[in-house]
Amino acid sequence: MFDQIIFRSHKAKTATIATLVLAFSFFPFHADAQQAGPTDAKAMEILQGMSDYLAKADTASFRVRSFFDQVRESGIKIKTARSAGVRLKRPNGLFVESIADSGAARTVWFDGSVLTVWDRHLNQAKTLDFKGKTDALLDQLAEKYDVNLPVADLLFSDVGKALKETIISSEYIGLRTVQGVECHQLSFESTGADWQIWVEADATPLPRRFAVTYVTLEGEPQFMAQLDHWSIGGAIEPTQFKAAVPEDTKRVSFTK
184-218: pLDDT as tens digits: 999 999 888 899 999 999 999 999 999 999 998 88
The domain spans of the chain are 17-244
- As a whole number of angstroms, the distance between CA 78 and CA 75 comes to 10
Which pLDDT score, from 0 to 100, does residue 160 have? 83
* pLDDT for 122: 96
| Cα–Cα distance measured from residue 166 to residue 37, given in angstroms and rounded to the nearest whole number | 12
Per-residue pLDDT tens over the stretch 21-42: 333 333 333 334 455 678 899 9
CA-nearest of 181, 233, 224, 197 to 49 is 197
Query: Do 117 and 126 meet the contact criterion of CB atoms below 8 Å apart?
Result: yes
- The closest alpha carbon to 145, from 243, 256, 251, belongs to 256
Per-residue model confidence (pLDDT) at position 165: 78
Residue among 78, 64, 72 at smallest CA distance from 22: 64
Query: Quick one: which of 210, 187, 163, 214 has its CA closest to 54?
Result: 163
Residue 36: predicted pLDDT: 66
Tell me the mean pLDDT in the region 225-244.
94
> Beta strands 124-129 and 250-251: pairing type?
parallel
pLDDT band at residue 16 using 50, 70 and 90 as cut-offs = very low
Buried b (16+ CB within 10 A) or exposed e, 196-230: bbbbbbeeebbbbbbbbbbeebeeebbbbbbbeee
Instruction: Residue count of the chain, please give it.
Output: 256
CATH topology of domain 17-244: outer membrane lipoprotein receptor (LolB), chain A (2.50.20)
Identify the residue with better confidence: 23 or 62.
62
Could you read off the pLDDT of 155-178 as tens digits, one per residue?
888 888 877 878 999 999 999 999
Please report which confidence band the pLDDT of residue 8 belongs to, taking 50, 70 and 90 as the band edges.
very low
Task: Yes or no: say if 66 and 82 are a contact pair by the CB < 8 Å rule.
Answer: yes
